[in-house]
Amino acid sequence: MENVNDGRAIHDPIAASLTRADDRVLLSHWMPPQSGIVPVIRFGKRWYSVLWALPIAFVILIAGVAVAQSLRQIPDVQGFLVRYPGAPPSAHVVISGFPLWLRVSHFLNFFFMMFIMRAGVQILADHPRLYWHRDCTPGSDWFRFQKPVPTGRVWTAKDDSVTIPGWLGIPGIRHSIGLARWWHFSVNTLWVLNGIAIYVLLFSTDQWQRIVPTTWDVFPNALSTALQYWSLNFPIDHSWTRYNSLQQLAYFTTVFIAAPTSIVTGFMQSPSLSNSSGWFGRVLNRQRARSLHFLVLWWFLLFILAHVTLVFITGARVNLNMMWGGVHDGSWRGFAVFVPLMTLVAIAWWSATPFTIRHARLVQRTGQAMVGWFKGFAEWWDPKSELTEKDISPYFWPNGTMPDSAEFETLVAGDFADYRLRVSGLVERPCDFTLADLRSMPQQEQITTHFCIQGWSGVAKWGGVPMRDILDLVRPAPEARYAVFYSLADGADGGRYYDVHRMVNMRHALTLLAIDMNGKPVSVLHGAPVRLRCENELGFKMVKWVTAIEFVSDFADLGAGHGGYNEDHEFYGYRMPI
Ligand SMILES: Nc1nc2c(c(=O)[nH]1)N[C@H]1C(S)=C(S)[C@@H](COP(=O)(O)O)O[C@H]1N2
Ligand SMILES: [Mo]
């Protein structure tokens, strides 16, 4: 029954209301800038500026010197320092120096982390609040760089996003999470590959002995080293052959604890992984994972700060020679490698944001090429509905662009009596459903977590008609590879909101045309009369105010051809289970 005209499929008439989109970020089409506030942290009921950390750290550092110096006058402490000079006597000695692979992977690690951290901060700026509870109820955040949530008006998650400087985030612009995520995930892939190479090479050479403690004595020795540094009477450096215990613990923590934690807490923010990993997904819920992910970022930042400071104050030339020149002497070889490479880092740093704004579509396509396969793979993780009524969130952020057409107003005024859901395209039996038709079909209920791309989550009980039952009625043809959901509302940049799903998503038991939310008809704010639930994808794929579903064999000729409104206009990917 395919209608073909000049080789182009004829679509549901509503497809004519889709718009094309520019391949660049056009600021005039984007959300207007909005600044956040200096980050604040909540202790109990009170909020404190993070800027307090600066004087506090300064006082601790200075007072620490006085305390450490006077401690070193005490005979028992002196005895302790003799007994634990800074490294266990059994510490293995590395004889291979700083081989090329180590120097290269060290540089790449730093280079990649620069992009990862900047893009990560950009992602955070899209929902500039952190929580420990899954529900993201306003006021329950423990960290934010945005004002309290305004009351007395609709305040969507998009309204809440903030602009950050372009030198800090990639690309800095408000609500540019689509692009930031391509950077974050693509470079993560490179960083993980580099990390795997580091793990393998560490343990297939003697280099692991630098950073893996082999005796509990590492702890008193680390304390001893800390005391020596803090009293400004630095321990003798043997870094060419072995690290002191403080270095060893810091490096071990960074490589073997912080890095894996950042990976696990990153993945656990994904709907498909979180929803399919049972108790683990509930204990390490998205907001906990997100908060921990952020704390790991701080570990990395403080580590880099301390590491670089010590490299420079404990003999910059010799230290740089080791890790950058691979030699243990007083030459300038380390500098000669370090300075050009840092220039490269600086150039890359300054060009990432303007490049991303100008070549947004390229960033999207490159990201898709690099990690799209993995996202596709993650769609197979099977989401389950294992939450109970008591998990339902007291607050569920609204999001998106509300319908403002006269057509919609009329439908609302008539209590959706005139609403029709049109299901057409490559199907044997195109059907129209009234709301009453949908209500008369067998209803399914599920209590699930919603994962918005911006970072918030919320649990609700959804009721409605499983997509599988709709498929049974309309019987998609074998050529039908995708289902297109058209909304009654336009998107933020004009043109109709729509999104495309693969057929596997449509056959999943938890894919639902939701007409009830928490036991009541879905409100207009949350997508009345019908909104999609597809529990292995991010929130933007769950079209609200659905008016038509069309089965197609390809989506290249719809809108700008990227598989949905946010895919076209905000450079998201169309398979987004992560
Ligand atoms: N028609 C339409 N549907 C939409 C959106 C939109 O802007 N327009 N926003 C999406 C996004 S980004 C999210 S997170 C969810 C939000 O659903 P909620 O308002 O019920 O929380 O709806 C999705 N569906
Ligand atoms: Mo979203």
Quick: pLDDT tens for 290-332.
999 999 999 999 999 999 999 999 999 999 999 999 999 999 9
Quick: pLDDT tens for 180-236.
999 999 999 999 999 999 999 999 999 999 999 999 999 999 999 999 999 999 999
Per CATH, the homologous superfamily of domain 3-24+384-569 is Oxidoreductase, molybdopterin-binding domain (3.90.420.10)
The atom of ligand 1 lying closest to the CA of 456 is 14
The predicted pLDDT at position 572 comes to: 98
In this structure, the residue with its CA closest to atom 15 of ligand 1 is: 539
In this structure, the residue with its CA closest to atom 19 of ligand 1 is: 398
Give the integer Cα–Cα distance in Å for 489 and 527.
10
- Is there an atom of ligand 1 within 6 Å of 455 CB? no
> Cα separations (Å) of 497 from 299, 393, 402?
40, 27, 10
- Is there an atom of ligand 1 within 6 Å of 572 CB? no
The atom of ligand 1 lying closest to the CA of 517 is 20
| Residue of 544, 570, 574, 576 to test ligand 1 pocket, by largest number of atoms within 8 Å of CB | 544
- Is there an atom of ligand 1 within 6 Å of 401 CB? yes
The predicted pLDDT at position 319 comes to: 96
* Band (379; pLDDT cuts 50, 70, 90): confident
Phi then psi for 12, rounded to 5 degrees? -50, 140
| Element holding 490 (H helix, E strand) | strand 482-490
Give the integer Cα–Cα distance in Å for 427 and 557.
19
| Residue of 542, 567, 574 to test ligand 1 pocket, by largest number of atoms within 8 Å of CB | 542
- Whether 90 shows a pLDDT value over 80: the answer reads no
- Return the higher-pLDDT residue of 377 and 248: 248
In this structure, the residue with its CA closest to atom 6 of ligand 1 is: 400
Give the integer Cα–Cα distance in Å for 348 and 351.
5
- Is there an atom of ligand 1 within 6 Å of 452 CB? yes
Pairing of strands 129-130, 8-9: unpaired
Ligand 2 centre and the CA of 366: distance in Å?
A: 22
Q: Who contacts 58 (Cβ-Cβ below 8 Å, separation ≥6)?
A: none
The atom of ligand 1 lying closest to the CA of 526 is 20
The atom of ligand 1 lying closest to the CA of 487 is 1
Asked whether the beta carbons of 285 and 126 are under 8 A apart, the reply is no
Q: What is the CA radius of gyration of the chain?
A: 28
- Is there an atom of ligand 1 within 6 Å of 136 CB? no
- Is there an atom of ligand 1 within 6 Å of 462 CB? no
- Is there an atom of ligand 1 within 6 Å of 540 CB? yes
Give the integer Cα–Cα distance in Å for 451 and 221.
45
Give the integer Cα–Cα distance in Å for 39 and 50.
6
Asked whether the beta carbons of 4 and 425 are under 8 A apart, the reply is no
- Is there an atom of ligand 1 within 6 Å of 544 CB? yes
* Band (431; pLDDT cuts 50, 70, 90): very high
Give the integer Cα–Cα distance in Å for 293 and 267.
10
Percentage of the chain beyond pLDDT 90 is: 95
Average of per-residue pLDDT values in the chain: 96
Number of H helices, E strands in the chain: 20, 16
Q: How would you label 552-563 residue by residue, b for 16+ Cβ within 10 Å and e otherwise?
A: beebeebbbebb
- Is there an atom of ligand 1 within 6 Å of 569 CB? no
Give the integer Cα–Cα distance in Å for 422 and 431.
6
In this structure, the residue with its CA closest to atom 23 of ligand 1 is: 540
- Is there an atom of ligand 1 within 6 Å of 539 CB? yes
- Is there an atom of ligand 1 within 6 Å of 542 CB? yes
Quick: pLDDT tens for 482-504.
999 999 999 999 999 999 999 99
The atom of ligand 1 lying closest to the CA of 460 is 20
Half-sphere exposure for 159 (CA within 13 Å, toward CB) = 15
- Return the higher-pLDDT residue of 92 and 395: 395
- Is there an atom of ligand 1 within 6 Å of 248 CB? no
- Whether 133 shows a pLDDT value over 80: the answer reads yes
The atom of ligand 1 lying closest to the CA of 538 is 14
Ligand nearest the Cα of residue 126 is 2
- Whether 511 shows a pLDDT value over 70: the answer reads yes
The atom of ligand 1 lying closest to the CA of 452 is 14
Ligand 2 centre and the CA of 456: distance in Å?
A: 8
* Band (382; pLDDT cuts 50, 70, 90): confident
Ligand 2 centre and the CA of 545: distance in Å?
A: 15
Ligand nearest the Cα of residue 156 is 1
Which tokens belong to 14? 């509503």
| Residue of 396, 399, 533 to test ligand 1 pocket, by largest number of atoms within 8 Å of CB | 399
Question: How far from each other are the two terminal CA atoms of the chain, in whole angstroms?
Answer: 36
pTM reported for the whole predicted model? 0.96
Quick: pLDDT tens for 336-370.
999 999 999 999 999 999 999 999 999 999 999 99
- Is there an atom of ligand 1 within 6 Å of 398 CB? yes
Find the range with the poorest average confidence among 1-15, 76-90, 99-113: 1-15
Quick: pLDDT tens for 437-482.
999 999 999 999 999 999 999 999 999 999 999 999 999 999 999 9
Q: Who contacts 551 (Cβ-Cβ below 8 Å, separation ≥6)?
A: 424, 425, 426, 427, 474, 476, 477, 480, 482, 483, 484
- DSSP 8-state code for residue 125: T
In this structure, the residue with its CA closest to atom 1 of ligand 1 is: 544
Asked whether the beta carbons of 274 and 449 are under 8 A apart, the reply is yes
Ligand 1 centre and the CA of 552: distance in Å?
A: 23
Ligand 1 centre and the CA of 519: distance in Å?
A: 20
**Amino acid at the residue 471:** L
| Element holding 341 (H helix, E strand) | helix 333-358
In this structure, the residue with its CA closest to atom 11 of ligand 1 is: 540
Asked whether the beta carbons of 213 and 249 are under 8 A apart, the reply is yes
* Band (377; pLDDT cuts 50, 70, 90): confident
Ligand nearest the Cα of residue 400 is 1
* Band (384; pLDDT cuts 50, 70, 90): confident
The predicted pLDDT at position 9 comes to: 61
Q: If we measure between CA atoms, which residue out of 495, 480, 505 comes closest to residue 558?
A: 495
Q: Who contacts 338 (Cβ-Cβ below 8 Å, separation ≥6)?
A: 320, 324
In this structure, the residue with its CA closest to atom 7 of ligand 1 is: 400
Ligand 1 centre and the CA of 171: distance in Å?
A: 23
- Is there an atom of ligand 1 within 6 Å of 235 CB? no
Q: If we measure between CA atoms, which residue out of 361, 293, 372 comes closest to residue 578?
A: 372
Asked whether the beta carbons of 554 and 562 are under 8 A apart, the reply is no
